[in-house]
Amino acid sequence: MLDEKIIGRKFQERYKKLVETDNLLPIKISEFYMKKLIEEIDAIGVGGPLYRSVIPVKDKIELKTRGETRDYVEEDKHNPIENCDYIIQKYDNRLVFIITDVCFAHCQYCFRTYNLSKFQQSNLKETIKNKITVLKEYLQANLNIKEVIFSGGDPLCVGYENMKFALEELKQWDIRVHTRAIVYEPSIFTKEMIKLLKTHNVRLVFHINHPYEIDEVVEEKIKEIREEGIRMYSQFPLLRGINDNSKVLVKLLVKMDELSIRPLSIFIPDPISYGAVNRIAARRIEKIIDEVNWNTPSWINSIRFVMDTTIGKVRRENIIKREGNHIVFTRNEKIVDYYDLDEGIDVPSDINKLLWKD
């Protein structure tokens, strides 16, 4: 149990029951991130941006809105191999490889919460060797696939030897590794691991949600990675209570630019069960987009705001219909429905709490 200074005992027990009965992820925080979390709690109390990243708040389990679903992206509909849930393909030229279901810490906004809880009982328990064998056979039979995206869980949780085996077996394909290890467990980027990633020309995509996640230790590790010439990118979600203000986003984007991290996308949270606590109303999202796009130089505002769906990523330009809180997106002649938050849920965060250090 966590200290009651961090989260009340009764609420912890209530949340733990939902973990057991309703496929939520248990609270898991790395020792490294906990230090930053305690610093924030000591400064402003509970409920700050780092706190909400890893600790459930009351609204997570009590706040509901219409249109929620377990898996909005419907990943299981994109498994090209029967009874193989660790290969996901939505696009012709690339696929996602769920190399592990383990994370260094559990993000409270994780869009894959339901699937990760299922993975823990699935064939993800196969050895890395067996999974790579299945993946290679599929790739060799589908020559249009050029890129393999390592996801999870956190791919770096597999450790150096497993990562080395996977990269060497898949060296004829472009590899992209999505990870939040840089803020949860930067020590995983040993000189040996960095050299391995460099050798295989891996693209590293960091998930960094808030500028305060980049402390001196993280910054020095990023510089070490940069010095080896590894290509670094970033994508992250837009989250109420964590970064739902253009000032926070700009501060984060500027910081990443200084560290040679190229931002790719800011994701709109999926309308998933237990996700209303993180979501932002569509009109306010558009206001934040405009504030970033029209009040910053091009090296900041080139980032895309997107939402992942079962038909692929969509943006504001893909909207073809609005009716109340019902929004319809189109892509490649396919359509997907999105249900905006019910009225009264989206309360903008206090900027003094979001950027309490400033």
The torsion angles phi and psi of 339, rounded to 5 degrees, stand at -110, 120
Q: Which two tokens stand for residue 335?
A: 């359509």
Checking if the pLDDT of 173 tops 60, the result is: yes
pLDDT in tens, 295-305: 999 999 999 99
What is the reported pLDDT for 127? 83
pLDDT in tens, 205-264: 999 999 999 999 999 999 999 999 999 999 999 999 999 999 999 999 999 999 999 999
Tally of CA atoms within 13 A in the half-sphere of 1 that contains its CB: 12
What is the pTM (predicted TM-score) of this model? 0.95
pLDDT in tens, 150-161: 999 999 999 999
Q: Model confidence at 121, in pLDDT bands (50, 70, 90)? A: low
The torsion angles phi and psi of 262, rounded to 5 degrees, stand at -90, 120
| Amino acid code (one letter) for 307 | M
Measured CA to CA, the distance from residue 172 to residue 168 in angstroms comes to: 9
Residue ranges and CATH numbers for the domains of the chain are: 64-354 (3.20.20.70)
What is the reported pLDDT for 125? 55
Closest CA to 309 of 279, 331, 282: 331
Walk across the sheet containing 326-331 and list its strands. Answer: 319-323, 326-331, 334-339
